[in-house]
Homo-oligomer: A and B are copies of this chain.
Amino acid sequence: MRIGELSTKTGVSVRALRYYEEQGLLAAERSESGQRHYGDKAVDRVRLIQQLYAAGISSASILEMLPCVTTGVASPQVLAKLRGHRSSVVKQIEDLQDTLRQLDSVLAGAVKSHESGVPCPPA
Contacts and interface: CB of A to CB of B under 8 A. Distances in A.
Given A69-B106, A100-B90, A103-B85, A113 B74 contact: yes
A115 to B, nearest CB: 11
A62 B110 CA distance: 15
A64 interface: yes
Q: Count copies of this chain in the complex.
A: 2
A89 to B, nearest CB: 5
A103 B67 CA distance: 13
Size category of the binding interface on chain A: 35 or more
B123 A72 contact: no
A83 B115 CA distance: 16
Interface string A82-104: 11011001101101111110111
| Max chain B C-beta neighbours (<10 A), residue from A83, A99, A102 | A99
B83 A120 contact: no
A51 interface: yes
Interface in A37-79: 48, 51-52, 54-55, 63-65, 67-69, 71-76, 78-79
B106 A72 contact: yes
